[in-house]
Amino acid sequence: MEEEMGPLLSSSFEGFNMGILMMACLALSWIFIHRWNQRNKKGPKTWPIVGAAIEQLVNYERMHDWLVEYLSKLRTVVVPMPFTTYTYIADPANVEHVLKTNFANYPKGDTYHSYMEVLLGEGIFNVDGEVWRKQRKTASFEFASKNLRDFSTRVFREYSLKLSSILSHASSNNQEVDMQELLMRMTLDSICKVGFGVEIGTLAPNLPDNCFAQAFDTANIIVTLRFIDPLWKIKKFLNVGSEALLDKSIKIIDDFTYSVICRRKAEMGEARISNNNKKVKHDILSRFIELGEDPESKLTDKSLRDVVLNFVIAGRDTTAATLSWAIYMIMTHNHVAEKLYNELKTFEEDRAKEESVTLLQFDFDDLESFTQRAVQYAGFLTYDSLGKLYYLHAVITETLRLYPAVPQDPKGILEDDILPDGTKVKAGGMVTYVPYSMGRMEYNWGSDAASFKPERWLKDGFFQNASPFKFTAFQAGPRICLGKDSAYLQMKMTLAILCRFFKFDLVPNHPVQYRMMTILSMAHGLKLRASRLS
């Protein structure tokens, strides 16, 4: 019997091996045919099933520059992925079509919403339709308020001076500082004061640890990774890896946010009692809290939580990241630093004459007199006077051209469409306009597109805007950034004070490169030393 089974087993194994061999041949043939059909195709390499996921994963840490390489040749890059297709665009005509002409066809979309919901919830940056319109209407009303503008100016001046004081102490001791971390603390304190009416004190001289800020950064990195990680839903279901860390980070974020809401509600209640039950409105969160008292508004504490976090990412991360890149650009371009210093010094002298004020004398080694002079100078910086610092405005704008706070902005596609350049896009996919690439395209900015050149924004000494569909740092069309003026106000206030009184030098061998997350921040911070200027 055993002798009879031997040949049968041998025959079965041979048949099985032959089947495996045939399947392998078919798979290889399929891959070969697919790659052969792609031989004349321009753009990323694609493979059966996984699309271009392999090339995207390999280039993930340098994805913005990876896209620059393709978009400089193609203007539009189609990137098939396992469950969707991304179409990246850098041509202003295509961008205008998506952001304005056919706006209704390109919402944030379900895919983007599902990736970001855990962090941004139903906030203004993560929703479409009526929910978005209501939030935008309320926020638009607040940003147009003169009271909020004047309050913001005072707050931005106060925190810029706090940062200046920290740098003064560091320069006295020849200490290196992480400027990006300091700026993140400053903008977090500022947005909590302006947006939510609370002091959180992260820019205190002892620089206390801030769990919220750390958790927010971690969550931001992980939700960004979801865009190219096809396994994130499995990891979320099993609560392992990056998704487990995201869970812990969101818990810290929520604890902080709900405490801010609770504190603000209590303060508003106390203020009303002392004001004979009169409604008191100091900040953006207060306005939303008041709206929530109307049962028809359907605003819950969860809704307020989403409002808070969306304004944090808008008012903290974007501004701090741009200021970090601006300081890096200034310190690495001596002629820019010199022209900016001269503008600020001349401004100071002119304002002193206009107000018939004698400028205080200060000694480099006398911290108190140095601080008094900085405070005097800051007093000259009003909303209107900052508007006359055209070179400063150009420096910030040129920074945003090359280092936009939001380097990519994806949109969903509701219905099949054809872009102005003839590219066909399918419903269910995504179109992403890429501000980081757009600022580096010679077909947008000329042969010196890669150069940091604030002068490109000036004509006869005055600042000249570019089309928002070419300079897309603040988006364009119906969703153009409501906080643009507020962002410029804080950035100009900060840089006016810092660049008037300090010279910055990068710590030797410190690496400066971006980190892949929603906001274009620096992966290793910005380590530098500050020295005082007369």
Tell me what pLDDT residue 9 has: 47
Q: Which residue has the higher pLDDT, 441 or 534?
A: 441
Asked if residue 68 and residue 192 are part of one domain, the reply reads no
Asked if residue 96 and residue 126 are part of one domain, the reply reads no
Q: Give the residue among 79, 69, 114 at the shortest CA–CA distance from 432.
A: 79
Residue 339 to residues 307, 345, 502, Cα–Cα distance (Å): 40, 10, 14
Strands 85-89 and 430-433: parallel
Asked if residue 272 and residue 156 are part of one domain, the reply reads yes
| Position 294 pLDDT exceeds 80 | no
Q: Residue-wise over 400-435: b if at least 16 C-beta within 10 A, else e?
A: bbbbbbbbbbbbbbeeebebbeebebeebbbbbbbb
Q: Alpha-carbon dihedral of residues 52, 58, 60, 62, nearest 10 degrees?
A: -120
Asked if residue 204 and residue 125 are part of one domain, the reply reads yes
Contacts of 470 (CB under 8 A, 6+ apart): 92, 95, 438, 444
Q: Which residue has the higher pLDDT, 439 or 19?
A: 439
Residue 227's pLDDT band (boundaries 50, 70, 90)? confident
Tell me what pLDDT residue 40 has: 46
Give a yes or no: residue 211 inside a domain.
Answer: yes
Segment 461-502, tens digit of pLDDT = 999 999 999 999 999 999 999 889 999 999 999 999 999 999
Segment 256-279, tens digit of pLDDT = 899 989 988 888 888 777 776 555
Rg of the Cα atoms in the chain: 27
Residue 488 to residues 152, 396, 496, Cα–Cα distance (Å): 12, 8, 12
Give a yes or no: residue 237 inside a domain.
Answer: yes
Asked if residue 218 and residue 83 are part of one domain, the reply reads no
What CATH number is given to the structural domain containing 59? 3.30.43.20
Tell me what pLDDT residue 20 has: 63
Give a yes or no: residue 359 inside a domain.
Answer: no
Give a yes or no: residue 27 inside a domain.
Answer: no
For the ranges 67-71, 97-101, 167-171, 260-264, which has the lowest average pLDDT?
260-264
Residue 12's pLDDT band (boundaries 50, 70, 90)? low
Segment 517-530, tens digit of pLDDT = 888 999 999 999 99
Q: What is the mean pLDDT of the chain?
A: 87
Asked if residue 487 and residue 442 are part of one domain, the reply reads no
Q: How far apart are CA 125 and CA 483, in angstroms?
A: 13
Give a yes or no: residue 350 inside a domain.
Answer: no
Q: Which residue has the higher pLDDT, 115 or 442?
A: 442
Residue 116 to residues 68, 222, 306, 308, Cα–Cα distance (Å): 25, 10, 11, 15
Name, of 126-135, 196-205, 375-384, the range with top average pLDDT: 375-384
Segment 449-459, tens digit of pLDDT = 999 999 999 99
Give a yes or no: residue 247 inside a domain.
Answer: yes
Segment 302-316, tens digit of pLDDT = 988 998 888 888 888
Asked if residue 79 and residue 161 are part of one domain, the reply reads no
What CATH number is given to the structural domain containing 220? 1.10.630.10
Give me the percent of the chain exceeding a pLDDT of 70: 89
Sheet holding 430-433, edge to edge: 76-80, 85-89, 430-433, 409-412
Q: How far apart are CA 498 and CA 486, in angstroms?
A: 18
SS3 197: coil
Give a yes or no: residue 507 inside a domain.
Answer: yes
Strand partners, 76: 89
Compute the residue count for the chain. 534
Give me the percent of the chain exceeding a pLDDT of 90: 58
Tell me what pLDDT residue 31 has: 46
The phi and psi torsions of 481 (rounded to 5 degrees) equal -60, 125
Q: For the chain, what is the domain count?
A: 2
Asked if residue 183 and residue 275 are part of one domain, the reply reads yes
Residue 198's pLDDT band (boundaries 50, 70, 90)? confident
SS3 80: strand
DSSP 371: H
Asked if residue 156 and residue 274 are part of one domain, the reply reads yes
Q: How far apart are CA 17 and CA 13, in angstroms?
A: 6
Tell me what pLDDT residue 15 has: 53
Tell me what pLDDT residue 41 has: 56
Residue 56's pLDDT band (boundaries 50, 70, 90)? confident
Asked if residue 305 and residue 184 are part of one domain, the reply reads yes
Segment 393-432, tens digit of pLDDT = 999 999 999 999 999 999 999 999 999 999 999 999 999 9
The domain of 284 spans 121-332+477-534
The phi and psi torsions of 531 (rounded to 5 degrees) equal -125, 145
Give a yes or no: residue 357 inside a domain.
Answer: no
Task: Enumerate the H helices of 365-518 as residue ranges.
Answer: 367-380, 383-386, 390-402, 435-438, 442-445, 484-501
Q: How far apart are CA 326 and CA 400, in angstroms?
A: 8
Report yes or no: 140 and 342 within 8 Å, Cβ to Cβ.
Answer: no
Asked if residue 163 and residue 288 are part of one domain, the reply reads yes
Asked if residue 244 and residue 185 are part of one domain, the reply reads yes
